[in-house]
Amino acid sequence: MTISLSENLLVALVSLGLVPWIIWTVRRGLRSGMLPIGRTHVRRDERPQAFNMLLWVYALVALLAAYIAFDLAFAGEP
């Protein structure tokens, strides 16, 4: 099964589109003191360790999404 270049670019654009959304969510969460997780929130004043861990998870996901977008957009076909 072969994957066309347009499919790679489509997935790269979707992945790259997630990065600003994640950054916006983190900035809003840092301002308000709560980060969303599912349908609930983790509050910084109630659970600071869980808040920090969730913040690291959001950062890791943003980096992975950016890496996937870069890899798919600029990787040549073998």
pTM, whole model, 2 decimals? Answer: 0.82
**What is the pLDDT averaged over residues 19-23?**
95
CB atoms within 10 A of CB 8: 16
In the chain, where are the structural domains located? 5-74
Q: Which pLDDT value is given to residue 5?
A: 66
Q: What is the pLDDT of residues 24-77, one digit of tens each?
A: 999 999 999 999 998 999 999 999 999 999 999 999 999 999 999 998 888 755
